[in-house]
Amino acid sequence: MNYIFRPENYKDWAKSAIQKIGKTLDSCTTIEHVDVSKRMIDNFIIITALEDGVQEEELESLMRLFWLKIDLKKQSIFETK
């Protein structure tokens, strides 16, 4: 059977997940590392979308911030090459 991970305490999990994603993105040195971060973000977004009480606008804003950070990281990696 397929089970989707659903944290017991979403708020605590979300805070630590956002921090971990941020640290992972900050430490990326290659495009492959950025791709791993993108998967982390995708998983976070899926889990958050399934959570009750999450407002769509907040989720969309968070997604945009993550994607902006990814784009900036990619740009900085390309500039250093």
Query: What is the domain partition of the chain in residue ranges?
Result: 10-80
Nearest residue to 62 (alpha-carbon basis) of 34, 21, 13: 21
Q: Is the pLDDT of residue 31 over 60?
A: yes
Q: Which of 2-11, 24-33, 46-55 is least confident?
A: 2-11
Instruction: Please tell me the distance from the alpha carbon of residue 58 to that of residue 79, in angstroms, as a whole number.
Output: 32
- How many CA atoms lie within 13 Å of 60's alpha carbon, on the beta-carbon side? 3
Q: Is the pLDDT of residue 22 over 70?
A: yes
Q: Which helix (H) or strand (E) holds 31?
A: helix 31-50
Find all residues with CB under 8 Å of 75, minimum gap 6, and list them: none
For 32-75, the pLDDT digits (tens) are: 999 999 999 999 999 898 888 889 999 999 999 999 999 999 99
Whether 67 contacts 25, CB under 8 Å:
no
Cβ atoms < 10 Å from Cβ of 74? 14
> What is the pLDDT, as a whole number, of residue 1?
42
